[in-house]
Structure formats: structure tokens, C-alpha cells
């Protein structure tokens, strides 16, 4: 017998309460066990939690003893992950098999699989999956289970340092959407991005430290740490870049440097201020207009005596700004063909027009760049997309 609509809210409350009460002292490995027991209040069974791997190519079971993989670009749970929607299939015994996106706030963690009798509203399962996402994100900090399940290949020490400093890949609100993506995840070193949404202002940073390996990762980490410290001390954009410049030169000498861009966006007016220190120009994606580069005078890279200036840009509702590192700009195929700005912007338009969320747009774009390079880890490749007042929210 199904759960009648008036009773679903009470059943949902019991499920959520059970998950919350179980979370205290819960080992990371035991999340799926507790969720499986809690959703029985809603008549749910056959529970699976699938996590997206770091490269976001496959979904892997939460259970360490389960070695299956579900391709994100070729499976029903993958469709749920890509489109951020509930996908229904026919289950065993006349029941319904659901795949529900799991998010930590707006960061995509994976997909929840559950069977029900078809009477439970999708919003109810969204609520369960949302709490599961918050629980997974919190438990990830107390053990290695979640991290190890998401890794399909061993990470280098520089990559370990990089991911230890990175914010969640996605933030979404009615005012601003921020989405980033890095490749190759297992050996990323000098590329990094950061963001903060505080009050009515969004802040973004993208950097590319010279070189490769451990030194590049150390410089990128120093850049993120110095910029956060300056920002939290009330520094202006130019003061933040000067702080980066002094930190890099002091710690690494005057022959090492970091390029990058730092920007703030007024969430009420759409006014953006941008400082460029030796980095590839960002792209402005205006609704109904050709994609164009934002002309922002480049100062010297941080570490070489940067003397930054501020560029002001007025965004319109629905406009986006794409920041990228030279691993995107200079991507070449094995035969030497460049992944052109035209190819990049065409793909961005195609995926955006298809109604995909920004996080999925970036996932597919960066994967396309990696394929163009012949899947070679020739250079770090990073993108960060900032959209103001997206019209599809």
C-alpha cells in the first residue's frame, strides 16, 4: 500500500529525523546503511548511493566492496547527475526505480537510487537526497572513505595539496552561479581557483603558477592562502594582488611567478571589477550576443613586481564570465591543432542552449579539451564560470 499524500510529509519527517539523529558519531562508511533504514518510513528499499569520481566520468557505489561503475555519459543514473533531475525506470515487482541527484547545497555529489511504489512525490525524494548530500560532505572530513571511493587512480602529492585547498566546485543562488572544473584531477598542481559569496558581493580568483609538480602546487596554495587572508582583512582587489606579489617573491624569489585574475561582482547591480595579472583574457558571454574577450590590461604576474589596475564591466541579467588558464587557451591535439576560442565558445553556446546547469557545461567543455589533447596530461586545464542572475533559475 502506498503512502497517501497527506501522510508523506510525516513520513518524510521521520526519515529525515532518523538520518539526522544517526549522524552523530556515525562513521563515514556507515552512511548508506543508515539511509537504507531511514527511507523505509517512505516505503523505499533497494537503496544505492553512487558518488561521482573526481574526473566526473563515472558514478561509483558508496559501498567499498562494490566495484561497479556507471558511466555518467551512458547510464540512467548518469542522466540524473548530468541534468540534475529525477530519472524513473521500471523496477522489480512492479515497483519504480528512481535516480535522484545528491547535492551538498548545489555541489553535485552523486545520485541516490531507491525503489518505491510510485506514490511518493519527487520533491520528497529530493529532500532526502539533499540531506544525504549534506551528510556525505560533512563525513568526508572525518575519514578517507568518501575520498577513496571517488578516486579512480592514485593522486600525486601536488594534487593532494591542490584538492585540500579547493572550495566546492559549484555554488548556485538566484543572484549568482559559480562553477569550476580542473583537469587532470590526479596530477593537478599549479592551477587553482577560489570564490566567496559574502553579503551582496561575489569574489572569484583563478591562478596558474609557473612550472609543474610540487613547487607549482606550493605556489598555488600560497596564492590562495594569501588572497584569502587579504580579502578577509578587507583588502581591495589591487591590494590583494600586491599581497600575492609580495608573498610569492618572498617565499620563492624573483624568478618565480603566478598569473591570474581576481574579480568581484555586485549582486544587486551586476557591476564587476576585475584585475588581471598576466593571465589569458576572460570571455564575456552575453545573452543573444557573440562571445567576446574582456579587455583588461595585464599587470606583471604576481612575484615579478605586479602593478595592477582595475577594469570595470557592467553585466546584464543572464550574462556570464568565463575565466580559464592557458591549459585551455593553448590546448593542442597530438598533430598540433589548437582548440580554438571559436570551438570553445560554440560548445559553450550549444551546451548552455540545451539547458544544462553550469557545472555540467564546464564538465563537458573541459572533457572536450582533454579529448582534443589526446587525453594527454600535458598541462593543467581549469575553468571558472560566473553567471549573474541566470534567467533559467
Cβ(276)–Cβ(261) below 8 Å = yes
For 24, list phi and psi in degrees, rounded to 5: -70, 115
The reported pLDDT for the residue numbered 375 is 64
**Residue 393: pLDDT band by 50, 70, 90 thresholds?**
very low
Helices 31-38 and 5-23, axial angle in degrees (round to 10): 150
The answer to whether the pTM exceeds 0.85 is yes
pLDDT at 4 (0 to 100): 59
pLDDT at 42: 94
CB 98 within 8 A of CB 86: yes
Distance CA(32)–CA(49), nearest Å, equals 7
Instruction: Count the Cβ atoms, other than its own, within 10 Å of residue 297.
Output: 10
Cα(325)–Cα(42) distance, rounded to whole angstroms? 47
pLDDT at 306 over 50: yes
Q: What is the pLDDT of residue 1?
A: 44
Cα separation, 369 vs 217, in Å, equals: 22
Ordered strands of the 201-209 beta sheet? 191-198, 201-209, 258-266, 271-277, 311-314
d(CA 332, CA 34): 48
- When computed from its CA atoms, the radius of gyration of the chain, rounded to whole angstroms, is 22
Mean pLDDT of the chain: 91
What angle (nearest 5°) sits at the alpha carbon of residue 339, between those of residues 333 and 343? 140
Residue 340 DSSP SS3: coil
Residue with cell 564538465: 363
pLDDT at 338: 81
In the predicted model, what is the mean pLDDT of residues 206-215? 92
Summarize pLDDT for 324-365 with one digit per residue, the tens: 988 887 778 788 888 887 888 888 888 887 878 888 888 999
For residue 328, what pLDDT is reported? 82
Among 111-115, 124-128, 136-140, 290-294, name the one with the lowest average pLDDT. 290-294
Share above pLDDT 70 across residues of the chain, in percent, rounded to a whole number? 96
Whether the link from the prior residue into 184 is cis, omega within 30° of 0, is yes
Q: What is the tens place of the pLDDT at every residue in 216-265?
A: 999 999 999 999 999 999 999 999 999 999 999 999 987 899 999 999 99
DSSP 37-74: HHGGGGT-EEEEEEEE-TTSSEEEESSTT----EETTS
Q: For the ranges 160-164, 204-208, 289-293, which has the lowest average pLDDT? A: 289-293
β-sheet bridge partners, residue 311: 274
CA-to-CA distance for 143 and 11, rounded, in angstroms? 31
Q: Report the distance separating Cα 309 and Cα 69, nearest Å.
A: 48
Span 265-293, pLDDT tens digits:
999 999 999 999 999 999 998 877 778 89
Report pLDDT for 92.
Answer: 80
Contacts 24+ apart (CB under 8 A), 229-238: 231/196, 231/203, 237/262, 237/263, 237/264, 237/273, 237/274, 237/275, 237/308, 237/310, 238/275, 238/308, 238/309, 238/310
In this prediction, residues 74-80 reach a mean pLDDT of 95
Average pLDDT over residues 143-147: 95
User: For residues 148-175, b (16+ Cβ closer than 10 Å) or e, as one string?
Assistant: ebbbeeebbebbebbbebeebbbbbeeb
Enumerate the H helices of 153-260 as residue ranges: 157-165, 213-232, 237-252
Give the residue from 361, 172, 202 showing the smallest Cα distance to 285.
Answer: 361
Amino acid at each position: 500500500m502506498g503512502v497517501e499524500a497527506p501522510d508523506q510529509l510525516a513520513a518524510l519527517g521521520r526519515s529525515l529525523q532518523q538520518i539526522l539523529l544517526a549522524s552523530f558519531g556515525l562513521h563515514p562508511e556507515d552512511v548508506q546503511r543508515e539511509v537504507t533504514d531511514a527511507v523505509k518510513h517512505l516505503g523505499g528499499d533497494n537503496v544505492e548511493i553512487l558518488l561521482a569520481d573526481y574526473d566526473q566520468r563515472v558514478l561509483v557505489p558508496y559501498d567499498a566492496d562494490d566495484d561497479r561503475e556507471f558511466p555518467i555519459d551512458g547510464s540512467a543514473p548518469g542522466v540524473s547527475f548530468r541534468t540534475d533531475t529525477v530519472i524513473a525506470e521500471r523496477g522489480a515487482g512492479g515497483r519504480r526505480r528512481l535516480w535522484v541527484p545528491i547535492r551538498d547545497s548545489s555541489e553535485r555529489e552523486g545520485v541516490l537510487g531507491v525503489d518505491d511504489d510510485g506514490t511518493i512525490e519527487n520533491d520528497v525524494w529530493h529532500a532526502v537526497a539533499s540531506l544525504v548530500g549534506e551528510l556525505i560532505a560533512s563525513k568526508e572530513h572525518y575519514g578517507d572513505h568518501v575520498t577513496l571511493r571517488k578516486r579512480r587512480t592514485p593522486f600525486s602529492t601536488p594534487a593532494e595539496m591542490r584538492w585540500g585547498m579547493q572550495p566546492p566546485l559549484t555554488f548556485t543562488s538566484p543572484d549568482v552561479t559559480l562553477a569550476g572544473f580542473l583537469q587532470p584531477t590526479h596530477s593537478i598542481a599549479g592551477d587553482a581557483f577560489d570564490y566567496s559569496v559574502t553579503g551582496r558581493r561575489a569574489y572569484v580568483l583563478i591562478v596558474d603558477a609557473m612550472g609543474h609538480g610540487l613547487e607549482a602546487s606550493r605556489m598555488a596554495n600560497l596564492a590562495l592562502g594569501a588572497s584569502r587572508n587579504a580579502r578577509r582583512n578587507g583588502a581591495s582587489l589591487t591590494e590583494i594582488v600586491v599581497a600575492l606579489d609580495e608573498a610569492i617573491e618572498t617565499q620563492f624569489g624573483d624568478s618565480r611567478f603566478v598569473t591570474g585574475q581576481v574579480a568581484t561582482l555586485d549582486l544587486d547591480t551586476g557591476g564587476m571589477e576585475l584585475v588581471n595579472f598576466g593571465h589569458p583574457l576572460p570571455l564575456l558571454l552575453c545573452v543573444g550576443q557573440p562571445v567576446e574577450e574582456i579587455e583588461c590590461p595585464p599587470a606583471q604576474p604576481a612575484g615579478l613586481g605586479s602593478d595592477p589596475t582595475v577594469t570595470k564591466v557592467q553585466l546584464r541579467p543572464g550574462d556570464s564570465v568565463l575565466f580559464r588558464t592557458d591549459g585551455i587557451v593553448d590546448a593542442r591535439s597530438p598533430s598540433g591543432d589548437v582548440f580554438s576560442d571559436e570551438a570553445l565558445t560554440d560548445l559553450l553556446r550549444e551546451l548552455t542552449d540545451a539547458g544544462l546547469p553550469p557545472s555540467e557545461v564546464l564538465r563537458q567543455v573541459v572533457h572536450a579539451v582533454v579529448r582534443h589533447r589526446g587525453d594527454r596530461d600535458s598541462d593543467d586545464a581549469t575553468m571558472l564560470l560566473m553567471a549573474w542572475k541566470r534567467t533559467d533559475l
